[in-house]
């Protein structure tokens, strides 16, 4: 039996996943903007988010939320983390029983500090939750570059079934039962990417970037394992892989925000000029709260949060990191 898929969200990553899945099965994408819907249906393009890219011919779009949700045998949710709950509350009115719900969002909810699959379990009990995460830059994938990702679900049987639905050609998808680890890796690396971007904006050099990535991986691994993730997950695609891609690519939104901060631009101006969400900006204070709760040292995340809150500059942040005593590499900090 062919499973029909719906993707909620017409941004770059949602559109890319929808186009990939459409190669394997009937796929419907929901977008809020009627002009985007018409462009996808009539021209097989989404020029706002993926300029120059040709989408799968049989991908169909709709602005009718009820139609999109009732169509789905598998629901993939690609909306920002801070609108995830509201979206699912509307989904609950229309979704059929037992339909798996897969998150594309890499963030944590402000206030509750929940991961997206935890919100799925809360709002849509009985629907198997999962997440797709990894070093996945949308433009490279939509233009056919090789890439790998992870679909994480507690039920490995369902994950393996959906693995073949989502993977296609040069887009290799692996399974993982460590849902918490995969989600936390995706959310925490965004803060480290802002730090790497700040270093680039300050022309700090390649050695500094490598140090930020390496020590950043240590930070996110400490917190991630304290919150239930498995150490091996943070050494894999959803951890180190995603971190490296996000910290080094010019296509990374979070690195872009950090770079502009390093060049002296105010955060409000940077955000207002972007048409996509940099999840790390919203997640940073949540991560600091979680680190305090679990008594985990996260100096890089701490300095990024201070800059985002307007309590320091990128230059001061890097000076603060350099002032820290360096002990054994296996020690925190």
**DSSP H/E element including 76:** strand 74-77
Q: Which of 106, 189, 260, 282 is catalytic?
A: 189
19 Cβ partners below 8 Å, 6+ apart? Answer: 55, 56, 59, 142
257 neighbors 280 (Cβ within 8 angstroms): yes
Please state the length of the chain: 333
Tokens of 57: 């011919």
From the CA atom positions of the chain, what is the Rg in Å?
19
Cα 37 from chain centroid (whole Å) = 23
Active site residue 189: yes
51 Cβ partners below 8 Å, 6+ apart? Answer: none
**Torsion angles phi and psi, residue 12, rounded to 5:** -65, -45
Question: In 3D, which of 102, 98, 96, 104 has the Cα closest to residue 80?
Answer: 104
Active-site residue list: 189
């Amino acid at each position: 039996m062919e499973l029909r898929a719906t993707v909620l969200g017409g941004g770059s990553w949602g559109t890319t996943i929808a186009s990939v899945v459409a190669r394997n099965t009937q796929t419907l994408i929901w977008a809020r903007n009627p002009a985007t819907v018409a462009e996808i249906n009539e021209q097989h393009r989404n020029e706002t988010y993926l300029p120059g890219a040709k989408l799968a011919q049989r991908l169909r779009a709709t602005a009718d939320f009820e139609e999109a949700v009732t169509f789905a045998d598998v629901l993939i949710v690609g909306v920002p983390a801070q609108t995830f709950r509201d979206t699912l509350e509307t989904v609950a009115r229309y979704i059929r029983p037992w339909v798996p719900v897969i998150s594309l969002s890499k963030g944590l909810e402000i206030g509750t500090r929940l991961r997206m699959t935890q919100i799925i379990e809360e709002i849509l009990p009985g629907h198997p939750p999962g997440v797709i995460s990894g070093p996945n830059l949308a433009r490279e994938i939509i233009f056919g570059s090789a890439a790998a990702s992870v679909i994480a679900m507690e039920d490995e049987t369902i994950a393996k079934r959906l693995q073949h639905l989502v993977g296609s050609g040069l887009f290799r998808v692996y399974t993982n039962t460590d849902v918490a680890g995969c989600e936390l890796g995706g959310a925490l690396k965004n803060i480290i990417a802002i730090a790497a971007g700040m270093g680039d904006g300050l022309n700090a050099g390649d050695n500094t970037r490598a140090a930020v990535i390496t020590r950043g991986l240590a930070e996110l691994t400490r917190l991630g394992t304290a919150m239930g993730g498995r150490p091996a997950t943070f050494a894999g695609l959803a951890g180190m892989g995603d971190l490296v891609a996000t910290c080094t690519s010019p296509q990374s939104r979070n690195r872009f925000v950090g770079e502009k901060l390093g060049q002296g631009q105010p955060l409000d101006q940077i955000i207002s000029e972007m048409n996509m969400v940099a999840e790390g900006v919203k997640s940073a204070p949540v991560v600091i709260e979680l680190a305090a709760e679990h008594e985990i040292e996260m100096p890089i995340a701490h300095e990024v949060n201070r800059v985002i809150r307007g309590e320091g500059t990128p230059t001061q942040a890097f000076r603060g990191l350099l002032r820290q005593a360096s002990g054994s590499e296996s020690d925190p900090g």
